[in-house]
Structures are given as C-alpha cells and as structure tokens.
Amino acid sequence: MENVIIIGAGCAGYTAAIYTARANLRPLMLTGTQPGGQLTTTTEVENFPGFPDGIMGPELMTRMQQQAEKFGARVAWAKVDSIERRDDGSFLLKAGGEAHHAKTVIAATGATPRHLGLPGEEKLIGHGLTSCATCDGAFYRDVPVCVIGGGDSACEEADFLTRFASKVYLIHRRDELRASKIMAERVLDNPKIEPVWNSVVTEYLADDKGEMRAVKLHNLQTKEDSELEVACVFVAIGHIPNSGFLGNLVETDENGYIIQKPGRTATRTPGLFAAGDVADHYYRQAITAAGQGCAAALEAERYLSGH
Ligand code: NAP
C-alpha cells in the first residue's frame, strides 16, 4: 500500500512529490497523458521566482521532475481511469489496467484547453486547429493565422506566432483584452498582430483536403458576417478542469473545479487532497499551483501521522 499517490505531473504534482518525498513518504506519481502539464506547451516562463532571465516551460518541468526523483519520488506514465474509496478509508486506483492502493491521494490533474464546440471541430484538430502555438506554430510559416481569445494565453500565443506567420489576427469577443497589462501592450504594439475586436468565430472552413482555410466571423456590434483566410486557428479561450474521474469523491463548482475546504487543499473525502488548476479557477499560475502542491503534501503528511 502506497502512503501517497499523486495524480498529475504539472507544477502542483511535482511540488507535492518533492515535499512528500523529502518527508520519506516515497510518493508514487501517476502522470497522465500530458506529463509536465500546461507548462510543456508554453514557451518562456518569465514570472517563476528564481529565474531572472526566464526559463523555458518544458525545462522548468524537467528540473522539477529531477528534483522529485532525487528525493525518491517514483514517476509512472499512466492515466488514472477510476478511483474508489474503500471501507478502511484507503483508495483503490485503476490506471491503464493496473491497480494501485494508497492511504492518501493528491489530485493535481490540472485543466485541459477549451474549444468552441463548433461543427467539424474534431476533424480539424491537427489540420489547422490547435490550442498549442509552441507545438504547432512552426508549421505555419509565412501564412496568416489567427488566435481566438483575449487573455494572457491568447496574447502569449499571438506574440510567439509572429516568429513564423506572415500575420496574426487576434480575434476577441470584446474590445478590451483580459490579459495582464504587460502582455496586452506587447501584443498591441506588435505590427504583425492585428486585433479583430467584438468578434466571434461561428464556423471553421476547410479546403478539399480537410485543412483549415478560413474562419467565418460574426461582429457582435455591427452584426455583420465576414470570412477571414487563415491557415491555422489557435484557440486560447480558457480551460476545463480534469476532475471528472473523481466522481462523487469531490464536490465541484458549476465549471467542474474541485471545491476545497476553506483555506486548505482537503476535499470532502478524508485523505483526498486537490492542488493546482483542477481546483483553482482564480489564480491559475505556475507558482500558485506549486504552492498548492506544497500545501497538499503537508496536509497529506499530517493526515498520515494522525491515522
Ligand atoms: P482566461 O484568462 O480565462 O482568458 C480566456 C479568454 O478567452 C478571455 O479573453 C475570454 O473572453 C475568452 N473566451 C472565453 N470563452 C470564450 C468563447 N466561448 N468564445 C470566445 N472567447 C472566449 O484564460 P487564459 O488566457 O488561458 O489564462 C488563464 C490564467 O493563466 C490566467 O490567470 C492568466 O493570467 C494565466 N496565464 C498567465 C501567463 C503568464 O503570466 N505568462 C500565460 C498564460 C496564462 P472575455 O475576456 O470576454 O471573458
């Protein structure tokens, strides 16, 4: 029986692993399908303390993994399909056909990029529709592309894409960016980025080969419809928390974010803790996720010493 299983391998998961490993709990991490979490799909991280010159997201995650393993954390590349609580208070997890048994569980499963839900969307993913500029930006050199959204992610993606694309349209449903001031200014000052204000994408248009060729736009103010030719659409409209597999073990809000005990990482199930973006719809930063991972580890440790 494991002392603690950490589900998810982003900032929250690795920090929980570092702390529980240093407390001699020999944590087992089940990483899921995107080890390293959202930072593996980002470029430079400029606001993680300790890196005055910035650090690339994937490198930061590799370093966190090395740090966790150095203290004895075990990392298994498996996705948890189900979890149940036994009568003795322990947890049974099924992951890729294997069963794991643990006294405590830290859910640090993060959140997945949201899409618009337009017809034909699934077929176009990977054919000119994506939510990862870092992964796919370099495929679209010297062609026009667009980014949907007005937050920090959208601005970061738009800025990054100007390295490759001939033009980057930033399609936003309002006429003011939600992004932080520094990001918004960077985007609005970039001559290769053209904001398309008060507009929503109502249709993706594919060519004969099934590749993206344009989007249909609706201007919410003028009510006019138009077409914009783009070779790729980068969607950056927020995320969906990965909490569904926990079922009734956790209480969630209307958007699926896990509700923790006030000021804590404890959930409604004793021995089950939640950390990072799966529970945090407010801060959603790498450093706050790491902080929650630390808090969850300390709570798990105290729970174990009390039982
Ligand atoms: P976000 O801040 O929630 O922004 C989502 C954007 O998408 C908003 O502009 C929103 O429009 C728009 N949107 C949402 N649903 C839409 C829909 N159905 N159709 C059209 N547009 C839609 O999400 P995020 O940009 O992913 O950022 C999440 C968090 O991570 C934030 O706290 C952000 O600060 C942080 N972050 C930080 C960095 C960094 O510091 N380097 C980088 C990336 C993200 P409205 O504005 O009209 O609501």
pLDDT digits (tens), the chain, 307 positions: 999 999 999 999 999 999 999 999 999 999 988 888 888 876 678 889 999 999 998 999 999 999 999 999 999 999 999 999 999 999 999 998 899 999 999 999 999 889 999 999 989 988 999 988 887 899 999 999 999 999 999 999 999 999 999 999 999 999 999 999 999 999 999 999 999 999 999 999 999 999 999 999 999 999 999 999 999 999 999 899 999 999 999 999 999 999 999 999 999 999 999 999 999 988 888 999 999 999 999 999 999 999 8
Per the annotation, the verdict on 232 as an active-site residue is no
Which pLDDT score, from 0 to 100, does residue 291 have?
98
- Measure 149 CA to ligand 1 centroid, in angstroms: 6
CA-CA distance, 9 to 33, in Å (whole number)? 9
Which of 48, 65, 15, 2 is CA-nearest to residue 275? 15
Spot the catalytic one: 11, 136, 277, 294.
136
Which pLDDT score, from 0 to 100, does residue 285 have?
86
Please name each of the domains of the chain with its CATH number: 2-112+239-305 (3.50.50.60), 115-235 (3.50.50.60)
Q: 55 in ligand 1 pocket by Cβ < 6 Å?
A: no
Structure tokens at 66: 């090395």
Q: 155 in ligand 1 pocket by Cβ < 6 Å?
A: no
Q: 60 in ligand 1 pocket by Cβ < 6 Å?
A: no
> pTM above 0.85?
no
- Measure 307 CA to ligand 1 centroid, in angstroms: 41
CA-CA distance, 206 to 172, in Å (whole number)? 21
Which pLDDT score, from 0 to 100, does residue 37 have?
85
CA-CA distance, 241 to 253, in Å (whole number)? 10
- Measure 206 CA to ligand 1 centroid, in angstroms: 26
Q: 72 in ligand 1 pocket by Cβ < 6 Å?
A: no
- Measure 237 CA to ligand 1 centroid, in angstroms: 5
Per the annotation, the verdict on 294 as an active-site residue is no
CA-nearest residue for atom 37, ligand 1, is 152
Structure tokens at 76: 């298994």
Amino acid at 266: A
Per the annotation, the verdict on 175 as an active-site residue is no
**What are the backbone angles phi and psi of residue 208, rounded to the nearest 5°?**
-60, -30
Q: Enter the DSSP assignment of 121.
A: H
Which of 35, 11, 30, 26 is CA-nearest to residue 81? 30
Atom of ligand 1 nearest to the CA of 150: 9
- Measure 251 CA to ligand 1 centroid, in angstroms: 24
